[in-house]
Each structure stands twice: as C-alpha cells, then as structure tokens.
Amino acid sequence: MAESPRHPFLQGLSKHRGAPPTVVVIFGASGDLTARKLIPAVYNLSVDGLLPADFYLVGYGRKAIPDDEFRTLASEAIKEFSRRELNEADWARIAAHTTYVAGGYDDKAAFDRLAAHIAGIEKNIGREVQTLFYISTPPSVFGPILQNLGASGLAGKYVGKGHHAKVIIEKPFGRDLASALELNATIRGVFAEHQVYRIDHYLGKETVQDLLVQRFANAIFEPLWNRNFIESVQITVAEEVGVGTRGGYYEQSGCLRDMIQNHTMQLLALTAMEPPVAYEAEAIRDEKVKVLKAIQPLNLGAGGDVARAQYVAGMIAGKAVPGYLEEEGIAPNSATETYAAIRLSINNWRWQGVPFYLRSGKRMARRVSEIAINFRRPPGTLFAESDGFNLAANTLSFQIQPDEGLSLILNTKIPGLETRTQPVKMSFRYSTTFGSNTPEAYERLVLDAMIGDGTLFIRGDEAETSWKLYTPVLEAWAAAGREGMDTYAAGSWGPPGGDALLARKGHLWRQP
C-alpha cells in the first residue's frame, strides 16, 4: 500500500534528527507492551524515515524463541496494533535486522551472550553502534537486569560523539519513596544519569508537548498564567474500563500509584513550572523539580486534601458492570482505591492560593484526560448573573485523550434585539487541523532516547520528590484499611467525597 502524502501543514519539516547506528534491545520482548506499543513504534519510525540506516532490533526474554518466530510475532503485532497497515517492503527492512536472544534476567552468562551478539553486529557492519536497552518487564526484575548490564560491560559501552549506552525504564518507578530511592541507587551504581530515561508515556502525547508551546510561544497566555488571573486548575485522568483481568496487579497498585503519582503529576509540573532558561532537557527538568518541591505537605485528616473510593456496580454504555469487589482476582475486603482525588497547594509567588485539583479513576462516566485552567470571573458590574445574564468562567482546557486538542470557553452575545449572553466554546483538534494519523507517544519517546534528548523523560530527583509527597498518603491509607473508603457507581463522575474536596473551596468539578 502506498504511503499517503504528508499533511500540507507538515510539508517541509525535517524527518531526521541524527540518530547514530543503533541496536535497540527490548527486555520482556514477548510481553504485551512490546506487542502493543514498542514494535509498532519502531515500525512507524522506520516508515517515517526516522531510523538510522544501521538499525537493529534485538528481543530478549526468558522464553526461547527462534529468530523467525520472533519476526512473525512482531509482524502480527504491527498488523493488529500499528496506526498504519503493514507494508511488506517497509517491514522487510526491519525484519532483516531483527533477532532474538534468550536468557534469564539474573543470568550473567546470558548477558555475556547478548554482549557477544551486539559485538557480532558491529563486526558485520564494520562500525560501532550505540545500544539502547528498553526494560519492559515487571519491576521485580529491574534490579537484576540493571546489575547484569553493568557486570557484562554493556552499560559502559561508548561510541564517539558522546553516544553512550542508554536505558529506558518503564513505570512503575518504585512503590513508595524508599523503593524509588533504592531503585535510583541501583541505577546510579551502573549508569550515569544522562544515560537513563525513566519513561512516562503521557509526556509523549502531542497535547502534553503542546502545553509548553501554548504557554511560552503565545504572548496572550503567559501574562495571565498566575494567581492574579487563575482561580483553580483541574487535572482529570478518567477511564471507562474496570480492572478487567489485571486485578492481581491492581490490588498491589491502586489509583494513586497507577495514575496520580506519575501521569497526573507530570501534567501538573508542566502546567505550573516557571519558564525554563532554554528549550533543553535539563533546563525544563530543573523547573519541573522546583515546582514539585514547592508543593505543600498534604492534610490527611478529616476534611483534608485527599479522597479515595472504590467503584460499585453500575452502567457503562448502557450495560451493567460489576463493582470492584466483584471483579476477578479482587479480595472481598480489599482496601485498594480505584478513585483518588487530591487538592494541592503550591507555595511560590506564581501560584500562592490557587488550588490544583487532581483526580483519576476507573469505571467513570467516560474516558478522558484533560487539564482545565479556570480563570477568575470578571467583576459583575456590567453583566451580572443577578441581572439574568448567562455567564461562565473562562476555561482553557487541554484535551490529552481521546480527542487531542484544546478549547477555550468565552461569553458572547446572542444575536437579537435584546442583550443576552451565552457561553461558547472555541476548539482546535489535532485530527482536523493536522490529519488523523498522529504519531503514538512511544514513537516520539523511543526516537528521543535514541538521539539522547531527555526532555520528555523523568529525572531521578523528580521521581523521588513526587514519591516524598505521596508516600505519607499511602501509609495512612494502609493503616486505615477500609475505614473512610468512599464508593461511587460505575458510570458516574466519582464519589461524594471527591465533590466535597472542591466544595470546601467553593469549586465544582468540571464535566469534560
């Protein structure tokens, strides 16, 4: 199938940012993430001409899989999950350089075989390659993989012009502050910080990246981006789905660990950070860490800053669905939260007194992720609601998924002989402006890691700062068990406790 022409708005843009000859090694190569995201990402980067000519893909896993079978599994994953249909000619170029190495994650000899395999690739092409190790495995084997990359010499591999071996580490990055500190200590014993790419796929989404552009490339926003003009900020990451077959995992995680501590905190950091001194990885990450450190400790008492709940039976898309405690693999007395809401206060000059509300949950009214900036209302001297005018607060919202784009709510006059007002929404959508075939987040992140751009990845101290804020919450909830656990019907927008969190400041949740 012929590749469709690029959208007119994309014509003339550079298609390559200089990735050197590269070997990407995926640990956990037979896993779900590899099939759904990583293999399709590599394929689409190849179709877009963004992979170096000397690019090699190596799968690594415990299960012994012949090279031909691994290539077949990879092509099937592309057919099922890629945003593009499989083109045999495009795939053939990758397949010719795709192999598999079997071995345990705690088996030093297997890592020596992997090192010899990469050395064989270099000998075959007559030049050195940089290595990018993608750890797509359960967290329990992060440590052994990292240690064996060090013991085998793979972590210290260096190619000229500053291209060292690199490692991408999937979430969850620890379960609390102590485990995050331990994991960072393991990493630092093997890799330098500039070699490490802690991934949060939300940072690869187009609208999240566009947040920086909207803030700092448009003069109309930054002068208003402060406590003088903004009333509150709401960040919502809602899912329609329940835990499904992942009950065993979710029982050990819960909403706070699964969504709030990582995804929503990254969105908050980009929303609230100060302008960086340059569009460079360390400058941006420095500002993210500063704003996270300015967040005040949470009040965990009654009427405080946190709310948690579990979904009970309800209706989703007109179909009855069970409650969390009736799901497969869930303990009947489980105290794992499927919903969490947090009110954060940032103690700095820009945001003093502006509440940041975060919420995430499963089995909610619909799937949506958005950042809503709620501006203060103008004085009601001309158009007062008491005089019958229909007014709404100006709200700028960034829709991260499923319909990527942004919208602005304004008040306008209704045509007619009387002065009547009505809120209207001005919207921009990526799909209608730039075409619908938007790159997946993992494509951008894998490419950035290859070329050494850490802008969209999490630094070690950033992860630790976030866990420092939320570990006391997790400890308090663990001690309380089910005491204080709220409930909400599947298909709703959450529990009464989540609404009360805002009501105490005179606010309401926005319904996206």
Residues 95 and 214 in one domain: no
**Number of structural domains the chain divides into:** 2
Q: Are residues 262 and 122 in the same domain?
A: no
Mean of pLDDT values over 361-380:
92
Which of 164, 194, 201, 263 does the annotation list as catalytic? 263
Report which of 87, 78, 3, 73 is spatially closest to residue 37, judged by C-alpha positions.
78
User: pLDDT digits over 247-302, tens only?
Assistant: 888 998 999 999 999 999 999 999 999 999 988 899 999 999 999 999 999 999 88
Cα separation, 456 vs 448, in Å, equals 8
Residue 89's φ and ψ, nearest 5 degrees, are: -70, -40
84 and 21 fall within a common domain: yes
Q: Is 263 a catalytic residue?
A: yes
373 and 225 in a common domain? yes
CA distances from 105 to 114, 119, 144, 170 (A): 11, 20, 6, 16
Q: Tell me the pLDDT of the chain averaged across its residues.
A: 90
Same domain for 245 and 394? yes
Q: Are residues 81 and 216 in the same domain?
A: no
**Among 41-45, 109-113, 436-440, 452-456, the least confident range:** 436-440
- Taking residues 466-488, report their average pLDDT: 96
pLDDT tens digit sequence for 314-324: 999 899 999 99
> Any idea which residue has 């990254």 for tokens?
266
| Strand-pair partners of 359 | 236, 341
Is the distance from CB of 54 to CB of 163 less than 8 angstroms? no
Token pair for 280 = 């460079």
Q: Taking the CA atoms of 443, 449, 452 and 454 in sequence, report the sign of the dihedral they define.
A: positive
191 lies in some domain: no
Q: Are residues 218 and 140 in the same domain?
A: no
Share of the chain above pLDDT 70, in %: 94
Q: Is the pLDDT of residue 9 over 60?
A: no
Tell me if 186 is assigned to some domain: no
Percent of the chain with pLDDT over 90: 72
pLDDT grade for 349, boundaries at 50, 70 and 90: very high
Do the domain assignments include residue 251? Answer: yes
Instruction: Give residues with Cβ within 8 angstroms of 11, minimum separation 6.
Output: none
Q: Which domain holds residue 147?
A: 17-170
* Residue 8 banded pLDDT, cuts 50, 70, 90: very low
Please give the C-alpha separations between residue 145 and each of 102, 263, 368, in angstroms, as whole numbers: 13, 25, 35
Which range, 367-381, 412-426, 432-446, has the best average confidence (pLDDT)?
367-381
Judged against a pLDDT cut of 60, whether residue 245 lies above it is answered with yes
Domain co-membership, 141 together with 217: no
* Cα–Cα distance measured from residue 378 to residue 12, given in angstroms and rounded to the nearest whole number: 43
Residue 286: CA count within 13 A, CB half-sphere: 9
Q: How confident is the model at residue 205 (pLDDT cuts 50, 70, 90)?
A: confident
Segment 140-156 shows an average pLDDT of 95
